Structure 1
């Protein structure tokens, strides 16, 4: 299968309706074909998995090709140079989050990206740092000290008015709070502290996170807390 073959398959699976949805994410019309992610996941299983091929696919500039690259790329094949190159080509929140969850969180020392990018001025590098914190709580067992350290990072670095950053910071705060009852209390305390600060961005993040944090409950057989509004949560 060649890159031209892949683009042909993508165009055959495209729809104008979905292309419009992608453009709403901020992707320029000339950089999208209009293919649902569900179809991309199927195609990703069939395309070559060699890194050089996938990087060439990324270089087409099409949003769908970049998603295919992230879905098919092997995390162990990625060097820091590759990761920085790919991050520089991300211009939408969905691709940023997919990259974090498919590639970055599976790196041996993913925490270095959080520490390196959490105070970045670049929109998607900073969002990636918060997305990784959110993903960390579901990917690995965190100690109380690690949870406290991540909560501290959220409190310090969520003074950013950009909506995509605020949403990721709120997400990270909520996901940490779902770890266990202790983490829930720590997350709520962090949010309440942020609400009292002068930063409008921090107040927004705290208010948004508290909507879910205060509703978290422990359900039988579940290691993480869930919302009391969920079907299982209503039974608790």
Structure 2
């Protein structure tokens, strides 16, 4: 006997669930962290992640949720889209709609798990739009975590992009730049030395924003916690 498809998780039902789960204190908290709340319900990721697990991978529903324009619906859309379904064309289409750091970072978190996503980095970094440029460095940071088999040469090639963007004064850009530099430096001992050298060089820059990037990265990369973990990994 054929199985009756589960229609519980329709666009209308999911949006209703999000409305009911949202709170004004959460909306206020989002606003404090620089997230626009005009079309937000006030639902934290701690609620969205279990909901995404309950629904399961659903690329079609994800597209509907994204088209709704609601902030949490778009976060949920990203969580419901497996990397194999996040084609570069779709990722760039969604990125064009993004005006918040959390959507940007979550989208890049998924995209970084897709083979070949590194090819998008140069064009994203060259884009003048704030969250598109941020996406370049969020993608680098996530690839440093998820792209286990990527060669170290890939990450060395990112250093000129990091240097160039380190003077971008926009808050959501420079913070992503030092995030990328830190994650590269935590990937392996050889990359650590190269990343720390870049960080220290930037920390000595005459440019105020570059100094912030360099100091933030150097501080973490020089910590005993990072050095102990890298040395332990190198001995395995």
Q: TM-score, normalised by structure 2?
A: 0.86
CA distance in 1, matches of 2:150, 2:117: 14
Conserved 8 A contact 1:27-1:63: no
1:154 to 139, 162, 168: 162
Between the aligned partners of 2:199 and 2:36, the Cα distance in structure 1 is 36
Note closer, same or farther for the CA distance 1:221–1:160 as it changes in structure 2 (3 Å cut).
Answer: closer
Normalised by the size of structure 1, how large is the TM-score? 0.86
Distance 1:185 1:47, change over 3 A: same
Q: Which residue of 2 aligns with 1:228?
A: none
RMSD value over aligned CA atoms?
Answer: 2.1
Who is 1:61 aligned against? Answer: 69
CA contact (8 A) 2:189 2:231 kept: no
Task: Give the alignment partner of residue 126 of structure 2, picking from 112, 115, 119.
Answer: 119
Tell me whether 1:193 sits opposite 2:201 in the alignment.
Answer: yes
Mind listing any 5+ residue stretches in structure 1 that lack a counterpart?
225-236
Paired with 1:75 and 1:220, the residues of 2 have a C-alpha distance of 28
Match of 2:189 in 1: 181
Unaligned 5+ segments in structure 2 are 1-8
Cα distance in 2 for residues equivalent to 1:213 and 1:25: 25
Counterpart of 2:91? 83
Offset of 1:173 from its aligned partner? Answer: 0.9
Contact 1:57 1:69 in 2 (8 A): yes
CA-to-aligned-CA distance 1:182-219 (integer Å, 9 cap, x gap)? 22221121112223433322121001111111113124
Match of 1:98 in 2: 106
Distance in 2, Cα, partners of 1:144 & 1:84: 26
1:16 aligns with 2:30: no
Whether the 8 Å CA contact 1:26–1:92 is kept in 2: the answer is yes
Residue 143 of structure 2 corresponds to residue 133 of structure 1: no
**CA contact under 8 A between 1:119 and 1:157: conserved in structure 2?**
no
Per-residue deviation, 1:50: 4.0
